[in-house]
Chains A and B, each alone.
Chain A
């Protein structure tokens, strides 16, 4: 079922990513980690559908946020990040997915691992934890290409400064800040060992990013002793450009 959603605010996260807040009449509510499908229809009737994770915590005010990264040859993301203005309408379907979700009743430790814009559904989990007053211990390992590519930087810093049960580790694949202790590069067993819960904590892991990143992270987690059934994954990528 498609709902008409109205754009109520826009906020740049980086030079290529933008957060869009929609007002969605009759929105049934969502769980952290779920996504929506966005459908755009051109004047000639041509339609394009893309999936975007919900960034905002569950709430009852019929507003949801998504954060969209502009893909260089994308068909939908350039429109959403450059042309969309407040009061525009798009069609939304969702919320979608009951597997890659974190519920506020979960009290066990949580390990979040994000590759690039894979941070979005994990941010919804961090926000959901805060808005529900949960004490579940969280750790986030956030891999980005360079410091300027980080989404939600100030909010993440505020959350981890304010609440020491949310641990935050950045890692950079191409360019790191000056004096950063780790040479830029892919995630590896040493990083996983230092930045994630030891497997005996039985943390539930949520891994989101491009397919290659997710496969690597999941393999490293199982290699460090995690049971595969504690690892939940969500993959996205250029192949997500449907139609």
Chain B
């Protein structure tokens, strides 16, 4: 699947790009993998950022959860790899 065993980061690394789209924090959101059914915080997904876009894969089965590409001022978001994403609405304004 990949040439180097540790060429991925995790969902935390996608937080900034996804903040362009989501008003709520996605890293602490729980997503369900549409392939294996594992439900985990998005922060635990394997995130690959070296390609032309960003790809998040399930940490359990490695199927694609999310793809995000920025081309010619358009953001293309594909989330069909997740059955759902459950976001915490109470944390949107949390800070010091």
Contacts and interface: CB of A to CB of B under 8 A. Distances in A.
B88 A98 contact: yes
Contacts of A210: 6
Interface in A170-220: 210-212, 215
A60 B96 contact: yes
Interface string B2-39: 00011111111101100100000101100000000000
Given A211-B8, A235-B8, A242-B49, A98 B91 contact: yes
B19 A96 contact: yes
A184 B50 CA distance: 32
Nearest to A95: B95
A58 B96 contact: yes
Contact of A232 (B5, B8, B43): B43
Interface stretch (A29-37, A109-117, A142-150): A29-37
Contacts, number: 91
Contacts of B27: 96-100
A26 B25 CA distance: 19
Interface residues of A, number: 34
8 contacts: A35-B12, A35-B15, A96-B27, A97-B12, A99-B28, A99-B41, A212-B6, A235-B12
B88 A211 contact: no
Interface in A99-131: 99-100
Q: When A and B form their complex, which 9 residue pairs have the shortest distance between CB atoms, in order from nearest?
A: A58-B96, A29-B95, A29-B96, A99-B43, A98-B25, A98-B28, A37-B16, A96-B15, A211-B6
A16 interface: no
Contacts of A99: 11-12, 25, 27-28, 41-43
A4 interface: no
Interface of A: 1, 28-31, 35-37, 49, 51, 58-60, 93-100, 210-212, 215, 232-237, 239-240, 242
A233 B94 CA distance: 21
Interface of B: 5-13, 15-16, 19, 25, 27-28, 41-44, 48-50, 88, 91, 94-96
Contacts of A236: 9, 13
A118 to B, nearest CB: 12
B96 A234 contact: no
A109 B60 CA distance: 28
Contact of A97 (B8, B25, B49, B95): B25
A211 B10 CA distance: 9
Given A232-B43, A239-B50, A94 B16 contact: yes
B96 A239 contact: no
Given A58-B95, A234-B12, 12 more contacts: A29-B95, A31-B95, A35-B15, A93-B16, A97-B27, A99-B27, A210-B6, A211-B7, A236-B9, A239-B49, A240-B9, A240-B13
Contact of B9 (A31, A49, A235): A235
Given A58-B96, A59-B96, A98-B25, A239 B7 contact: yes
Contacts of B16: 35-37, 49, 51, 93-94, 96
A182 B25 CA distance: 41
